[in-house]
């Protein structure tokens, strides 16, 4: 074996190792997508089981799926492993975690909590079924539109329509808060609960703009006070999750509508004065 051949083998081995590492990096965001999909599947099964704790576990699983969904895209962008396959795989996982799972959870929890012991409200089962189906169809519609059109033209600052994880988060947060708000609810809550699902579906398919948080420089150096505030926020959510998560999810949903109304009125005012 010549000296050149002796140096060539380690070089080929290094190239092979780089190729294997490259494949591993591509797998990393997909693993987070699989974890997202697994949480959605678990939430659906737990909701079908239908125990009191099972509903809470299903709501928490949807919340964890939101976390995994926010990480897989960021990791893909940071590692330069964005692929069309990853985009489509992520969307299919989102249909399960943020479409099917919250729709099943809303239907099962609504019947066993709001309809319990009320024969009159139980007759509204078909209407409830349609409301939950509307949420599912709108979430799939929202994801398909995002794949085709992407975000708001001109940048990634805003989503067009309420994101499916945010809509699913509203459902999960309300179910999770049942221990806190349960004593305040009566059978009339069924009307409000199932009416909420088509409203969320309408927001997902609307042109209302929602802030995406994607322009925040997470990877840059941040002031120490920012770290402290984030730590306090996580601690508050951990300690008072039943109340705080409802406030966060509800505020995000309503904020988009308020800002959309402000922009509409401002545009009308400019048009009249022009």
Q: Count of CB atoms within 10 A of residue 13's CB?
A: 10
Both tokens of 256, joined, read 């988009």
SS3 string of 150-194?
CCCCCCCCEEECCCHHHHHHHHHHHHHCHHHHHHHCCCCHHHHHH
Tally of structural domains, the chain: 1
Provide the total of helices (H) and of strands (E) in the chain, helices listed first: 11, 2
Which residues form the domain of 181? Answer: 3-273
Rounded to the nearest 10 degrees, the angle between the axes of helix 241-273 and helix 224-239 is 120
CA distances 155 to 55, 150, 215, Å, are 38, 10, 9
Q: Is 242 exposed, middle or buried (0-12, 13-18, 19+ CB in 10 A)?
A: middle
Query: Cα(44)–Cα(153) distance, rounded to whole angstroms?
Result: 35
Could you tell me if 203 and 256 are in contact, meaning their C-beta atoms sit under 8 angstroms apart?
Answer: yes
pLDDT score, position 39: 96
Both tokens of 163, joined, read 């994101």
Could you tell me if 135 and 94 are in contact, meaning their C-beta atoms sit under 8 angstroms apart?
Answer: no
pLDDT score, position 180: 65
Residues in the chain with pLDDT values less than 70: 1-26, 112-123, 150-156, 179-188, 215-220, 222, 274
Q: What DSSP letter does each residue of 181-237 carry, written as one string?
A: HGGG--TTHHHHHHHHHHHHHHHHHS--EEE--TTS-TTS---HHHHHHHHHHHHHH
pLDDT score, position 238: 85
pLDDT score, position 128: 84
Query: Cα(121)–Cα(119) distance, rounded to whole angstroms?
Result: 6
Q: What DSSP letter does each residue of 122-139 carry, written as one string?
A: HTTHHHHHHHHHHHHHHH
Both tokens of 61, joined, read 């699983």
Q: Count of CB atoms within 10 A of residue 34's CB?
A: 15
pLDDT score, position 46: 94
pTM listed for this prediction: 0.81
φ/ψ of 152, rounded to 5, equals: -60, 135
């Amino acid at each position: 074996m010549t000296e050149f051949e002796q140096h060539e083998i380690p070089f080929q081995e290094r190239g092979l190792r780089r190729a294997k590492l490259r494949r591993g990096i591509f797998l990393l965001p997909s693993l987070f997508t699989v974890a997202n999909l697994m949480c959605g599947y678990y939430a659906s099964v737990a909701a079908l089981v239908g125990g009191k704790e099972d509903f809470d576990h299903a709501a928490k699983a949807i919340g964890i799926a939101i976390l995994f969904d926010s990480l897989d895209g960021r990791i893909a962008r940071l590692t330069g492993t964005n692929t069309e396959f990853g985009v489509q795989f992520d969307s299919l996982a989102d249909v399960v975690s943020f479409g099917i799972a919250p729709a099943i959870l809303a239907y099962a929890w609504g019947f066993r909590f709001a309809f319990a012991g009320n024969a009159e409200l139980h007759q509204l089962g078909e209407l409830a079924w349609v409301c939950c189906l509307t949420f599912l169809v709108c979430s799939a519609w929202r994801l398909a539109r995002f794949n085709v059109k992407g975000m708001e033209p001109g940048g990634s600052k805003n989503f067009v329509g309420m994101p499916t994880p945010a809509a699913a988060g509203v459902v999960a947060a309300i179910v999770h808060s049942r221990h806190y708000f349960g004593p305040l609810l009566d059978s009339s809550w069924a009307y409000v609960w199932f009416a909420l699902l088509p409203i969320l579906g309408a927001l997902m398919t609307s042109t209302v703009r929602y802030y995406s948080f994607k322009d925040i420089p997470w990877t840059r150096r941040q002031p120490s006070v920012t770290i402290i505030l984030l730590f306090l926020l996580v601690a508050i959510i951990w300690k008072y999750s039943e109340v705080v998560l409802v406030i966060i999810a509800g505020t995000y949903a309503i904020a988009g509508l308020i800002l959309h109304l402000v922009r509409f009125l401002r545009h009308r005012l400019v048009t009249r004065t022009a």
